[in-house]
């Protein structure tokens, strides 16, 4: 990676990816410093929600495993308290979005506002040359344009570029992603070779601060007046089908748990923040010709209005055209797409190069 030895801070989550990234950096001869972030008070959260099972991402168990890996690799290791900033930038945002009838993406917020922004500052305080993470993404220097570009990972099934659209391009010269050119199977093999206890650790698919991934119970525990979020479930023609106990329990595209029945499958089309009405309809009704996104962050400006967009991490790239307006971007799909969801991220690409992205404000019917 480099000809000279560098001081590198590696963000360690206690999983196989960050553990292997640390091992690779150490193997290359760099001075590696491991750091884990304490993002919330585990004991308080468990007591508040009356949950005693808590082994999701960033848990105490993960911190212990990160410490074990650091001991095996013989690198310094520290745990930093990021509870306040994580609550402000991620947890409070998560709750507020659902209460305003939007579907949040806390992982994007965490990467942008906590991991890179604040952890990079800590790395600089430690006189480190770089901050490294276990993300599956590539940071490539474009010799022709004399700038760094974020590109999709070699392992497209594990690619995490979608979550990094909020990255400040000024940060790119100081970021390392050792796993960008590796397949997941290769990473586990390397972890075994380095005798890391995380080599076969399962991946966590849950939101780290939500026990058992039950976000509805978590949000409900934060609400003073629960009746204020009750409302009607209606068709797009306005016919009342039933009532619900909380608008925050619904997201666009949802089919299960609606509490109403019809001869044909019903899906959530819209959640109205003001009236608390949840509109349902057919799968065909979910399709949109485009979207409007706001708070756009451009890592690299597009060369053409013809780009591609991802409206969820798990979906394919969608060919589209974009119109860059003063406060937002208007996106028109080549073909109608289903379940465009306000609050989710719209992330733009040229080929495998990440251009940037923003937050979906509305869908265009």
Rounded distance between C-alpha atoms, residue 70 and residue 53, angstroms: 26
Strand partners, 77: 34
Distance CA 203, CA 139 (A): 23
Beta-bridge partners for 240: 234
C-alpha 39/C-alpha 58 separation (Å) is 7
Distance between CA atoms of residues 48 and 259, nearest Å? 28
Q: Report d(CA 172, CA 132) in Å as an integer.
A: 11
Maximum Cα–Cα distance for the chain, whole Å? 69
Quote the crossing angle between the two packed helices 16-27 and 184-193, to the nearest 10°: 60
CB neighbours (10 Å) of residue 2? 13
DSSP letters of 177-211? -TTTTS-HHHHHHHHHHTT-TTTTPPPP-S-TTSG
110 is catalytic: yes
Residue by residue, DSSP assigns 214-256 as -HHHHHHTT-S-GGGG-EEEEETT--EEEEES-GGG--TT--T
User: How far is it, in rounded angstroms, from Cα 331 to Cα 268?
Assistant: 22
Residue 281 phi/psi, 5° resolution? -170, -165
Catalytic residue selected from 57, 107, 147, 208: 208
Burial category of 289 from C-beta neighbours within 10 Å (exposed 0-12, middle 13-18, buried 19 and up): middle
Give the residue among 322, 346, 304, 103 at the shortest CA–CA distance from 219. Answer: 103
Phi, psi for residue 314 in degrees, rounded to 5 = -85, -5
Q: What is the spatial distance between Cα 233 and Cα 40, in angstroms, rounded to a whole number?
A: 35
The first and second tokens of residue 102, run together, are: 């939007």
The residue with tokens 């848990």 is: 59
Choose the catalytic residue: 58, 107, 110, 320.
Answer: 110
Q: Can you read off the two tokens belonging to residue 56?
A: 């999701």
Active site residues: 110, 208
């Amino acid at each position: 990676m480099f000809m000279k030895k560098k001081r590198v801070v590696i963000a360690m989550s206690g999983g196989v990816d960050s553990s292997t990234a640390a091992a690779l950096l150490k193997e290359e001869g760099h001075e590696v410093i491991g750091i884990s972030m304490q993002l919330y008070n585990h004991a308080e959260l468990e007591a508040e929600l009356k949950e005693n099972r808590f082994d999701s991402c960033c848990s105490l168990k993960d911190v212990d495993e990160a410490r074990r890996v650091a001991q095996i690799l013989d690198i310094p290791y520290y745990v930093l308290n990021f509870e306040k900033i994580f609550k402000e930038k991620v947890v409070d945002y998560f709750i507020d979005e659902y209460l305003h009838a939007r579907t949040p993406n806390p992982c994007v917020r965490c990467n942008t506002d906590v991991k890179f922004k604040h952890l990079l500052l800590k790395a600089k305080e430690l006189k480190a040359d770089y901050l490294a993470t276990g993300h599956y993404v590539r940071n490539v220097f474009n010799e022709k344009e004399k700038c760094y570009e974020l590109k999709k990972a070699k392992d497209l099934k594990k690619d995490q570029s979608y979550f990094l659209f909020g990255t400040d391009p000024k940060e790119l010269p100081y970021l390392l992603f050792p796993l960008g050119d590796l397949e997941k199977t290769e990473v586990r093999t390397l972890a075994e070779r380095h005798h890391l206890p995380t080599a076969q650790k399962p991946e966590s698919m849950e939101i780290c601060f939500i026990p058992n991934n039950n976000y509805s119970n978590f949000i409900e525990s934060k609400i003073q007046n629960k009746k204020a979020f009750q409302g009607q479930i209606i068709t797009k023609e306005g016919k009342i089908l039933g009532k619900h106990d909380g608008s925050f329990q619904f997201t666009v595209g949802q089919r299960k748990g609606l509490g109403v029945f019809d001869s044909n499958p019903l899906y959530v089309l819209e959640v109205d923040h003001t009236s608390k009405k949840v509109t349902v309809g057919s799968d065909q009704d979910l399709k949109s010709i485009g979207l409007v996104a706001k708070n756009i962050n451009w890592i690299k400006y597009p060369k053409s209005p013809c780009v591609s967009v991802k409206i969820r991490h798990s979906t394919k790239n969608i060919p589209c055209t974009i119109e860059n307006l003063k406060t937002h971007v208007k996106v028109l799909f080549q073909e109608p797409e289903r379940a465009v969801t306000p609050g989710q991220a719209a992330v733009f690409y040229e080929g495998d190069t990440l251009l940037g992205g923003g937050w979906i404000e509305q869908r265009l019917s």
